[in-house]
A and B are shown apart, each in its own frame.
Chain A
Amino acid sequence: MQYLLMLYSDEAGWPTLSAAQKEERMGAYNAYTEALRKADVLRGSNRLRPSNAATTVRVTDGKSQVLDGPYADSKEQLGGYYLIDVPDLDAAISWASRCPGASHGTIEVRPLWG
Chain B
Amino acid sequence: MSEADEFCGDRHPGFCGDTPRPGQARSTAEAVARRSYGKLVALLSARSRNVSAAEEALSEAFAAALASWPRSGCPTNPEAWLLTAARRKLIDVARHDEKGRLAAAHAQLLDQVLEESDTELDIPDRRLALMFACAHPAIEPGIRAPLMLQLVLGFDAARIASAFLVAPSTMGQRLSRAKNKIRTAGIPLRIPEREEWPERLAAVLDAVYAAFAEGWSDAGELDSGRRDLAEEALFLGRLVAELLPEEPEVLGLVALLLHAEARRRARRSPAGEYVPLGEQNPADWDQALIEEAESLLQRASALGAIGRYQLEAALQSAHVARRRSGRADWPAIVVLYDALLALTDSPVVALNRALAVAELEGAAAALQLIDGLSADPRLLQYQPYWVVRADLLARTGAAAQARDAYDVAIGLERDPAVRRFLQARQAALGLPKS
Measured CA separation A1–B190 after assembly (Å): 16
The CB with the most chain A CB atoms within 10 A, among B101, B136, B185, B190, is that of B185
CA distance A111 to B188 in the complex (A): 13
Tell me what chain A mostly uses at the interface: helix, strand, loop, or mixed: mixed
Stretch from A14-22, A33-41, A62-70, A85-93 at the B interface? A85-93
Per the bound structure, the CA–CA distance linking A87 and B190 in Å amounts to 12
Chain B contact residues: helix, strand, loop or mixed: loop
Q: How large is the interface on A (under 10, 10 to 19, 20 to 34, 35 or more residues)?
A: 10 to 19
Please name all residues of chain B whose beta carbon is closer than 8 Å to the beta carbon of A1 when the two chains form the complex.
186
- Give per-residue flags for B126-159: 1 if the beta carbon is below 8 A from chain A beta carbons, else 0: 0000000000111000000000000000000000
A56 to B101, CA, bound (A): 31
Q: How far is the CA of A87 from the CA of B185 in the complex (A)?
A: 11
Q: A91 to B188, alpha carbons, bound, how many Å? A: 9
Closest chain-A Cβ to B99's Cβ sits at a distance in Å of 16
| CB pair B187 A88 closer than 8 Å | yes
Residues of B within 8 A of A89 (CB): 136, 138, 185-188
The count of chain B contact residues (Cβ–Cβ below 8 Å) is: 13
Residues B30-79 near A (CB distance < 8 A): none
Residues of A within 8 A of B192 (CB): 90
B101 to chain A, nearest CB (A): 8
**Please, which residues of chain B bring their CB within 8 A of the CB of A111?**
184-186
Find residues 401-421 in chain B having any chain A CB closer than 8 Å to their own CB. none
- The answer, yes or no, to whether B196 is at the interface (CB within 8 Å) is yes
Per-residue contact bits, chain B 99-110, to A (CB 8 Å; 1 contact, 0 not): 001000000000
A87-B184 in contact (CB<8A) = no
User: Per-position contact with B for A85-114: 1 when CB-CB < 8 Å, else 0?
Assistant: 001111011100000000000000001001
Closest B residue, CB atoms, query A113: B101
Query: Which residues of the partner chain B approach A93 to less than 8 Å between Cβ atoms?
Result: 137-138
Contacts of B137 in A (CB 8 A): 93
- When C-beta atoms are compared, the residue in chain B nearest to A87 turns out to be B188
Report B175-217 residues with CB < 8 Å from chain A CB. Answer: 184-188, 190, 192-193, 196
Question: Given the complex of chains A and B, what is the CA–CA distance between A94 and B193 in angstroms?
Answer: 10
Question: Which B residues touch A92, using CB under 8 A?
Answer: 186
Give B residues with C-beta under 8 Å from A.
101, 136-138, 184-188, 190, 192-193, 196
Q: Which 6 A-B pairs have the closest CB atoms?
A: A88-B188, A89-B186, A1-B186, A88-B186, A89-B187, A89-B185
